[in-house]
Chain A
Amino acid sequence: MSVAGGPPSIIDLDVGGGGGPRPVRRRRQRFTWRSLTVAAVSTVVFFGILVAILTNAPGWARFQESFLNSEYFWRALPKVIEAFWINVRLFLIAEVVILGLGLLLAVMRGLPGPVFFPVRLLATVYVDVFRALPGVLVIFMLGFGIPGLRIEGVPIDPFFWAIVALSLLYSAYVSEVYRAGIESVHPSQEAAARSLGLSRPQALRYVVLPQAVRRVIPPLLNDFIGLQKDTVLVSFIGVVEIFRTAQIEQAANFNFTPYMAVALVFVVVTIPLARFTDWLVARDRARAAAGAR
């Protein structure tokens, strides 16, 4: 729509050549003022029509009652937010495990020489398998299956298995991100390190990985946005987290507004992370452009 892209692109329409600086500036100002007005009016009109259509649609009243009930909303919101801390804890613990395990897998896949073939094979098969499996499947198998074996000393806490399941799943993705980063570091960097007498692990540790990790921070954050949302999947194995809490509320009143509260919480926490990721990408691109000379 012209709303978002309008004003800047019109400013960019600087008339090349011809005329002194003055007419150009006046023209640009006029364009800016006019485009702002147009954008504002069209926005109001556009969304006004949209809202009018929706609220006059048949069933709007019922929708409003079922999804946008303010009484249920305010009743559900504190409970939902409180339960969200379970998700946050799950997310934070799993994230630490994933960062470590993913890195380990990426390094394992990069080990050279025939001796390490079994290690490379193991890492490759792991990544292939856990990227192929649907998340819910793994969560069910671990969360119900393993405790059901009733083996002495094996935890039965669903929260524990939830962390294990998410860590297994996401470290497969994250290891691929790391691997892409490692491969993006030019071999001459390792050669320079080795030529100074650093061993291969030292070259990896001090020269290759620091550069690789820096480059993959934006895609890593992207994966973590996914992980943040997927924490609700563990509700299926009995962890009473945000989604399960909303479900209980919904079932008690046959009203869907608690789900809207959940949706709001996720939107509010995810958007800043998404913006931050975009900002990092833009900053890296600017730096690369400056560094290229």
Chain B
Amino acid sequence: MATTGATDRTGEALRIEGLHKSFGDLEVLRGIDLVIAEHEVVCLIGASGSGKSTLLRCVNLLEEIDAGRIVVASEEITAPKVDVDRIRRRIGIVFQAFNLFPHMSVLDNVALAPRRVLHKPRREADADALALLERFGLADKRAEFPDRLSGGQQQRVAIVRALAMQPDLLLLDEITSALDPELVAEVLDVIRELAAGGMTMVIATHEMGFARDIANRVCFLDGGRILEEGPPDRIFSDPREERTQRFLQRIIAAGRL
């Protein structure tokens, strides 16, 4: 709702109100309202083109929004004069296509932003990056270049790269969609570990089994709106909306649940 002034709801990681976004004539987001608590894991499901990725890109300010407001930890990030770079530091995003920097080693990929944005000395940034890589079983790949890694390894490095900035909020945009099936599990295991560690995450995904498993809440997007949301057990076993039912039936028919 349209609360004005400084919002100070402790325990709230992300608040989205009345978010609209169009690309030309195509209205991709048509009024999204969503509140996410700290340490909550929310999965966005829905057909391709339902607006999941656009929603995440808006939250990271990679897309300019047309209407509405987005508040991250009590600060309205869609306010006119906000420092975009400072906001992005606190919000990590992992992309479907990894988007690692191909001209840098794994270690440099992870350490780049801490060095250049947080101005950590190289030694410290490298040590921190290495510790993170170690935690996710990638320490032996530190000197490799991205094109020498498997898709699963690349995506894990991309996650580590986002984590190196110690974000308050992590956005995951269909991070397993570009992977061979046998590589999906290693990436999802990383996300499970992060969830167990209390990371606040918004996850756009086609992996329904995973969503059911990991999410505190599932939102079904349809035509740029959140049509239905609730705990995963209810959404998956007892969806109320007809469109949700049809979507899940198609997923089951495709053997993905």
A198 and B117 contacting across the interface, CB-CB below 8 Å: yes
Q: Which residues of A contact B97 (CB under 8 A)?
A: 188
Whether a CB of chain A sits under 8 angstroms from the CB of B252 is no
B62 and A207 contacting across the interface, CB-CB below 8 Å: no
A197 to B85, CA, bound (A): 5
Q: Which residues of A contact B60 (CB under 8 A)?
A: 195
A191 to B97, CA, bound (A): 12
Whether a CB of chain B sits under 8 angstroms from the CB of A111 is no
**What is the total of A-B residue contacts with beta carbons within 8 Å?**
58
Query: Which residues in window 58-107 of B have CB below 8 A to A?
Result: 60, 62, 85-86, 88-89, 91-93, 95, 97, 99-103
B99 and A194 contacting across the interface, CB-CB below 8 Å: no
Whether a CB of chain A sits under 8 angstroms from the CB of B162 is yes
Q: Which residues of B contact A194 (CB under 8 A)?
A: 62, 85, 88
A211 and B113 contacting across the interface, CB-CB below 8 Å: no
Whether a CB of chain B sits under 8 angstroms from the CB of A189 is yes
Whether a CB of chain A sits under 8 angstroms from the CB of B112 is yes
Asked whether A291 and B147 contact (CB < 8 A) given A196-B113, A206-B112, the answer is yes
Asked whether A198 and B93 contact (CB < 8 A) given A211-B102, A211-B103, A291-B147, the answer is no
A197 and B102 contacting across the interface, CB-CB below 8 Å: no
A195 to B173, CA, bound (A): 13
B: interface residue count bin: 20 to 34
A214 to B145, CA, bound (A): 15
Q: Residues 209-221 of chain A: 1 if any B CB is under 8 Å from the residue's CB, otherwise 0?
A: 0110010000000
B162 and A189 contacting across the interface, CB-CB below 8 Å: no
Asked whether A192 and B101 contact (CB < 8 A) given A197-B113, A197-B165, A291-B147, the answer is yes
A207 to B100, CA, bound (A): 10
Asked whether A199 and B85 contact (CB < 8 A) given A206-B116, A291-B147, the answer is yes
A197 to B89, CA, bound (A): 5
Whether a CB of chain A sits under 8 angstroms from the CB of B161 is yes
Whether a CB of chain B sits under 8 angstroms from the CB of A64 is no
Asked whether A196 and B117 contact (CB < 8 A) given A188-B95, A191-B62, the answer is yes
Task: Give the Cβ gap from A23 to chain B, nearest Cβ, in Å.
Answer: 42
Query: Which residues in window 162-208 of A have CB below 8 A to B?
Result: 188-189, 191-199, 202, 206-207
B99 and A202 contacting across the interface, CB-CB below 8 Å: no
A200 to B247, CA, bound (A): 40
Task: Give the Cβ gap from B15 to chain A, nearest Cβ, in Å.
Answer: 20
Q: Residues 92-133 of chain B: 1 if any A CB is under 8 Å from the residue's CB, otherwise 0?
A: 110101011111000000001100110000000000000000
B99 and A191 contacting across the interface, CB-CB below 8 Å: yes
Residue ID in chain A nearest B162 by CB atoms: A196
A: interface residue count bin: 10 to 19
Residue ID in chain A nearest B86 by CB atoms: A197
Residue ID in chain B nearest A210 by CB atoms: B103
Asked whether A207 and B85 contact (CB < 8 A) given A192-B95, A197-B117, A197-B165, the answer is no
A196 and B62 contacting across the interface, CB-CB below 8 Å: no
Q: Which residues of B contact A193 (CB under 8 A)?
A: 101, 112
Residue ID in chain A nearest B102 by CB atoms: A211
Q: Residues 10-34 of chain B: 1 if any A CB is under 8 Å from the residue's CB, otherwise 0?
A: 0000000000000000000000000
Task: Give the Cβ gap from B111 to chain A, nearest Cβ, in Å.
Answer: 11
A189 and B99 contacting across the interface, CB-CB below 8 Å: yes
Q: Which residues of A contact B103 (CB under 8 A)?
A: 210-211, 214
A195 and B93 contacting across the interface, CB-CB below 8 Å: yes
A191 to B95, CA, bound (A): 10
Residue ID in chain A nearest B117 by CB atoms: A197
Residue ID in chain B nearest A186 by CB atoms: B99
Q: Which residues of A contact B113 (CB under 8 A)?
A: 196-198
A22 to B99, CA, bound (A): 50
Residue ID in chain A nearest B113 by CB atoms: A196
Residue in A188, A197, A214 with the greatest tally of chain B CB atoms within 10 Å: A197
A81 to B89, CA, bound (A): 58
B62 and A198 contacting across the interface, CB-CB below 8 Å: no
Task: Give the Cβ gap from A186 to chain B, nearest Cβ, in Å.
Answer: 8
B102 and A198 contacting across the interface, CB-CB below 8 Å: no
A222 to B75, CA, bound (A): 52
B95 and A198 contacting across the interface, CB-CB below 8 Å: no
A195 to B91, CA, bound (A): 8
B161 and A196 contacting across the interface, CB-CB below 8 Å: yes
Residue ID in chain A nearest B57 by CB atoms: A191
B99 and A196 contacting across the interface, CB-CB below 8 Å: no
For the complex of A and B, list the 5 residue pairs with the smallest distance between their C-beta atoms, beginning with the closest: A197-B89, A192-B99, A196-B113, A197-B117, A197-B88
Question: 29 interchain pairs (CB within 8 A)?
Answer: A188-B95, A188-B97, A189-B99, A189-B101, A191-B62, A191-B95, A192-B95, A194-B85, A195-B62, A195-B88, A195-B162, A196-B89, A196-B112, A196-B113, A196-B161, A196-B162, A196-B165, A197-B85, A197-B89, A198-B85, A198-B112, A198-B113, A199-B85, A206-B112, A207-B101, A207-B112, A211-B101, A211-B102, A214-B103
User: What would 9 more interface pairs be, CB under 8 Å, given A193-B101, A197-B86?
Assistant: A188-B97, A192-B101, A195-B93, A196-B89, A196-B162, A196-B165, A198-B113, A199-B85, A291-B147
Chain A residues at the B interface, C-beta cutoff of 8 Å:
188-189, 191-199, 202, 206-207, 210-211, 214, 291
